[in-house]
Amino acid sequence: MDLEFSPEDIAFRNEVRAFIEANYPPHLKGRVLREDLSKEDFLAWHQILGKKGWSAPAWPKEYGGTGWTATQRYIWLEENARAETIPPLPFGVSMVGPVIYTFGTPAQKERFLPGILKGEVWWAQGYSEPGAGSDLASLKTKAVREGDFYIVNGQKTWTTLGQYADWGFFLVRTDPNAKPQEGISFLLIDMKSPGVSVRPIKLLDGGYEVNDVFLQDVKVPVDQRIYEENKGWTCAKFLLAHERAGIAGVARSKRNVERLKSIARSEIGDEGKPLIEDEDFQRKLAELEIDLSALEMTELRVLAREHAGKGPGPESSLLKIKGTEIQQRLTELTLEAVGNYAQPYVRDLPGGNEFAIGPDYARAAAPVYFNWRKASIYGGSNEIQRNIIAKMVLGL
Amino acid sequence: MNFDYTDEQNALRDSLSKWATQQYDFDKRKAALADENAWKKNWATFAELGLLAAPLPEAFGGLGGGPIDVAVVAEEFGKALVVEPYVPTVVLGGGALAYAGSAAQKDQHLNAIASGERVIAFAQAEPKSRWSLNDVSTTAKKDGAGYVLNGQKSVVLGGPQADHLLVSARTAGGQRDAKGISLFLVPTNAKGVTRRDYPTMDDTRASEVYFENVSVGADALIGAADGALPIIERIIDEANTAYCHEAVGCMRMMTSSTQEYAKQRKQFGRAIAEFQVIQHRLVDMFMATEESVSMALRATIKLSESDAERAKAVAGAKVAIGKQGRFVGQNAVQVHGGMGVTDEMRVGHYFKRVTMIDSTFGNVDYHLKRYIALEQKAAA
């Protein structure tokens, strides 16, 4: 047992670093997710990686994965975080893609996987409903079979970036009389279908990143159902476990710790010395780093098991809870670091302003803090994750 | 010992609460935020209701009340998420004038504050000062009988609405010296004053203010030259106490609305309020709110004691309410689930307000350090 990189790993890291350096779109350097990115901005890096064959490292090689070892995938994420790339969105690559290659028919795989790999099709998630959040299985959107089609009616909500989506994957009720988990099917729906409408929801930070999706008599061909009718819950659970595993965001949090340190070097603390030398701040930062190390090591252990053939299981709930708590603490500490410059609310980008309001790094501190309260709610709230661990891991 | 409010204070709360319910509900507030002049109508109402006059001395148009009157107003403002610059004008501006102003200055400005004709913002913080009150780089150089001001002030709350700025400036000494700081009252339209106005995260308005060779007369100086720091500390303590009450108003609303939501929101076939993990969370929120009420009141009562006692009580309240406000805010959002993160529900706005109050005039860490320093000073 050791944590050393092999010479091959180091060579791989150098290759990856050089590739990012040479190929990451110059106009996106330094842009962060928080800022208002266009659809093209979101997809640019994904599409470059698609051409290279690196857009879905976690996928099995036969479906377009890279065949990298767990260590290589770790290095990949580290290097992307280091360069602050805008990563491929999770909805296609990490969510619906694995469902399709695991449960789909050969025709479905052929039809949908290439668009995901290439970053040509933007996917959105249709899971939660106004009355079905943590209790996802109580969902009411219904699909009624009529010949070779389903007629879908209902409302989904919290659909992240659904305003840009080309396609969506939806959980719908196909058997109203079965037990909640047993009457659900997994449908792929073209967002341009008649009867689909999307309403962006304004969030606390002033941005629009989630949506209500309304489905009114939407005709969906039966061949867009993944897996068997009424067995959609199997796909749903599989997808959620994958979603949770990626949700820990360790590499990005490590990068954000560095970002925070650089802010703390610029900020003057309460006693006229740099904030980074302030003992209260140092202590909080150190505790955060230690907790992040624990999370990283735990994630590596989970990844190693996963690589040994066991898919992400209920342990991924641990990663989700700890990962999101750390992300939130990071945003909280960043908010503290910028002092009263947390207060101005300025949405327009720098450059055009004659007067800057505070340092550049302060601008996003409060919006990001407020925005990231979502992290302990989405992907199954952290309360639900604790229930999962209690039941599935501890057997309580 | 007596924790009762006077009849006048109860009447003040009732009339304010009635006004807020009728004229400042969520939708009306939202509409008003989109209109840069809408605050003027509300301001006139504040004058009519006596809110602006409440704590000011009777000799100069005030009602002769005190910090408890301010506390009553601030808590109601917290509940209604009032964004008008009450604390900057009445507590900071009015306070500086009442404690340090000459009779002529009081006569000129306090009457105008009470009647709603004067709006003041405190241009105190600077880009690199963080929350240190003694860290002042803006200069005021003696020029004949008057002074010339140069420098930049940051996050001046109420700047866009103000007609006068209360400005801390250095008349002597080095950047962080306690001595050598003076206060000036400068019209916002004085030559050489420029502003960049912006909204804040919690829907109030603020400015970056730039002073470039701004000439003021000797009558702009409030109090003694070089000796303003104790006055600044006092009015900021009073402002922080008012903000603590405002935060308490927000916390009360967050705890009650979260309880209501948890009773109504059904998941897994029952109200989420039936789950023990939610019940305990609601109980913790309730306790945090009650303790915050206590700390805010304690600070208010101790405002009239010695400088050291006052400062410690206010620092303690800021620490407690900063922490408890964060706890209540984060959990109010969490229990509301996705709805809590939207702009469409009040709960998130209260959360934003308590968060911004924490970063106004010193956050938890700042006041914890201050508390420790005061404690050490007292022991020495």
pLDDT at B104 over 80: yes
Residues 262 through 291 of chain B touching chain A, CB cutoff 8 Å = 266-269, 275, 277-278
Same CATH fold assignment for domains B7-117 and B230-379: no
Mutate to test the interface with A, among B81, B126, B130 (most CBs of A within 10 A): B130
- Does B110 lie at the interface with A, CB-CB under 8 angstroms? no
- Does B351 lie at the interface with A, CB-CB under 8 angstroms? yes
Residues 210 through 239 of chain A touching chain B, CB cutoff 8 Å = 210
Bin B218: left if φ > 0, else alpha if -120 < ψ < 50, else beta: alpha
Give percent of chain A above pLDDT 90: 77
Taking only the tens place, the pLDDT of each residue in A315-349 is 789 999 999 999 999 999 999 999 999 999 976 54
Taking only the tens place, the pLDDT of each residue in A7-39 is 999 999 999 999 999 999 999 987 765 557 889
Superfamily per CATH, domain A7-88: Acyl-CoA dehydrogenase/oxidase, N-terminal domain (1.10.540.10)
Contact B178, B229 (CB under 8 A): yes
Mean pLDDT, residues A272-293 taken together: 95
DSSP A300: H
Interchain CB distance below 8 Å, A134 and B337: yes
HEC sequence for chain B: CCCCCCHHHHHHHHHHHHHHHHHCCHHHHHHHHCCCCHHHHHHHHHHHHCCCCCCCCHHHCCCCCCHHHHHHHHHHHHHHCCCCCHHHHHHHHHHHHHHHCCHHHHHHHHHHHHHCCCCEEEECCCCCCCCCCCCCCCEEEEECCEEEEEEEEEEEECCCCCCEEEEEEECCCCCCCCCCEEEEEEECCCCCEEEEEEEECCCCEEEEEEEEEEEECHHHEECCCCECHHHHHHHHHHHHHHHHHHHHHHHHHHHHHHHHHHHHCEECCEEHHHCHHHHHHHHHHHHHHHHHHHHHHHHHHHCCCCHHHHHHHHHHHHHHHHHHHHHHHHHHHHHHHHHHHECCCHHHHHHHHHHHHHCCCCCHHHHHHHHHHHHHHHHC
Predicted confidence at residue A291, as pLDDT, reads 97
Contact A137, A148 (CB under 8 A): no
Taking the CA of residue A76 and the nearest CA in chain B, the distance in Å comes to 32
Residues of chain A contacting residue B326, judged by C-beta atoms under 8 Å apart = 332
Of A133, A336, A342, the CB nearest to B365: A336
Query: CA-to-CA distance for A332 and B326, rounded, in angstroms?
Result: 10
Mean pLDDT, residues A187-215 taken together: 96
Query: CA-to-CA distance for B339 and B347, rounded, in angstroms?
Result: 9
- Does A10 lie at the interface with B, CB-CB under 8 angstroms? no
Give percent of chain B above pLDDT 90: 99
Residue B288: how many CB atoms within 10 A of its CB? 23
Predicted confidence at residue A178, as pLDDT, reads 95
Predicted confidence at residue A302, as pLDDT, reads 82
Q: Which amino acid is at A218?
A: V
Residues of chain B contacting residue A210, judged by C-beta atoms under 8 Å apart = 338
Domain residue ranges of chain A, discontinuous segments joined by +: 7-88, 123-229, 248-393
Predicted confidence at residue A352, as pLDDT, reads 46
Q: Of residues A2 and A142, which shows the higher confidence score? A: A142
Residues of chain B contacting residue A203, judged by C-beta atoms under 8 Å apart = 341-343
CATH topology of domain B7-117: Butyryl-Coa Dehydrogenase, subunit A; domain 1 (1.10.540)
Q: What is the mean pLDDT of chain A?
A: 92
Query: CA-to-CA distance for B115 and B62, rounded, in angstroms?
Result: 9
Mutate to test the interface with A, among B284, B365, B367 (most CBs of A within 10 A): B365
Q: Which residue has the tokens 């990115």?
A: A37
Lowest mean pLDDT among A305-319, B33-47, B315-329: A305-319
Taking the CA of residue A213 and the nearest CA in chain B, the distance in Å comes to 15
Contact B114, B47 (CB under 8 A): yes
Smallest Cα–Cα separation from A191: which of A209, A215, A212?
A: A215
Q: Which residue has the tokens 């899971």?
A: A127
Query: CA-to-CA distance for A127 and B47, rounded, in angstroms?
Result: 52
Q: Name the 3-class secondary structure at A27.
A: helix
Mean pLDDT, residues B69-80 taken together: 98
Taken in order B217, B223, B229, B232, the sign of the CA dihedral is negative
Domain spanning B121-227 has what CATH number? 2.40.110.10
Taking only the tens place, the pLDDT of each residue in A58-72 is 899 999 999 998 889
First to last CA, chain B: 31
Predicted confidence at residue A240, as pLDDT, reads 83
Residue contacts between A and B (CB atoms, under 8 Å): 140
Interchain CB distance below 8 Å, A270 and B366: yes
Query: CA-to-CA distance for A322 and A291, rounded, in angstroms?
Result: 9
Helices A7-23, A70-82: axis angle to 10 degrees equals 40
Q: Name the 3-class secondary structure at A21.
A: helix
CATH topology of domain A248-393: Butyryl-CoA Dehydrogenase, subunit A; domain 3 (1.20.140)
- Is position A267 annotated as part of the catalytic site? no
Chain B nearest-CA residue for A325: B330
Residue A9: how many CB atoms within 10 A of its CB? 15
Bin B130: left if φ > 0, else alpha if -120 < ψ < 50, else beta: left
Mean pLDDT, residues B261-289 taken together: 97
Smallest Cα–Cα separation from B261: which of B246, B282, B286, B292?
A: B282
DSSP A273: S
Interchain CB distance below 8 Å, B334 and A340: no
Q: What is the mean pLDDT of chain B?
A: 97
In this structure, what token pair is assigned to residue A392? 């599935």
Helices B307-336, B276-302: axis angle to 10 degrees equals 160
Q: Which of A243, A296, A299, A315 is catalytic?
A: A243
Mean pLDDT, residues B245-271 taken together: 97
Residues 125 through 154 of chain B touching chain A, CB cutoff 8 Å = 125, 127-132, 135, 154
Taking only the tens place, the pLDDT of each residue in A64-100 is 999 998 889 889 999 999 999 999 999 999 999 999 9
Interchain CB distance below 8 Å, A267 and B130: yes
Please name the residues in contact with A88: beta carbons below 8 A apart, sequence gap of 6 or more: A45, A46, A49, A55, A56, A119
Smallest Cα–Cα separation from B108: which of B161, B163, B65?
A: B163
Residues 35 through 94 of chain B touching chain A, CB cutoff 8 Å = none
Of B155, B344, B366, the CB nearest to A202: B344
Please report which confidence band the pLDDT of residue B170 belongs to, taking 50, 70 and 90 as the band edges: very high
Please name the residues in contact with A248: beta carbons below 8 A apart, sequence gap of 6 or more: A295, A299, A319, A320, A322, A323, A324
Residues 263 through 322 of chain A touching chain B, CB cutoff 8 Å = 267-272, 278, 280-281
Taking only the tens place, the pLDDT of each residue in A147-166 is 999 999 999 999 999 999 99
Q: Which contacts qualify for A204-208: CB closer than 8 Å, 24 or more apart?
A: A204/A370, A204/A371, A204/A373, A204/B341, A204/B342, A204/B343, A204/B348, A204/B349, A204/B351, A204/B352, A205/A366, A205/A367, A205/A368, A205/A370, A205/A371, A206/A345, A206/A347, A206/A367, A206/B343, A207/A36, A207/A367, A207/A371, A208/A163
- Does B217 lie at the interface with A, CB-CB under 8 angstroms? no
Domain residue ranges of chain B, discontinuous segments joined by +: 7-117, 121-227, 230-379
Residue A198: how many CB atoms within 10 A of its CB? 17
Q: Name the 3-class secondary structure at A251.
A: helix
Taking only the tens place, the pLDDT of each residue in B178-202 is 999 999 999 999 999 999 999 999 9
By CB atoms closer than 10 A (0-12, 13-18, 19+), residue B378 is exposed
Interchain CB distance below 8 Å, B369 and A383: no
Q: Please compute Rg for chain A using Cα positions.
A: 22
Predicted confidence at residue A351, as pLDDT, reads 45
CATH class of domain segment(s) B230-379: mainly alpha
Residues of chain B contacting residue A343, judged by C-beta atoms under 8 Å apart = 155, 200-202, 206, 356, 359-360
* CATH architecture of the region A123-229: Beta Barrel (2.40)
DSSP A245: H
Mean pLDDT, residues B159-177 taken together: 97
Residues of chain A contacting residue B269, judged by C-beta atoms under 8 Å apart = 138
Of B337, B349, B356, the CB nearest to A377: B337
Alpha carbon of residue B71 to chain centroid: 11
Is 0.90 surpassed by the pTM of this model? yes
Mean pLDDT, residues B92-118 taken together: 98
Predicted confidence at residue A312, as pLDDT, reads 67
Longest dimension (CA), chain A: 74
Residues of chain B contacting residue A157, judged by C-beta atoms under 8 Å apart = 338
Q: Which residue has the tokens 């507590």?
A: B91
Give me the interface pTM, i.e. the ipTM. 0.95
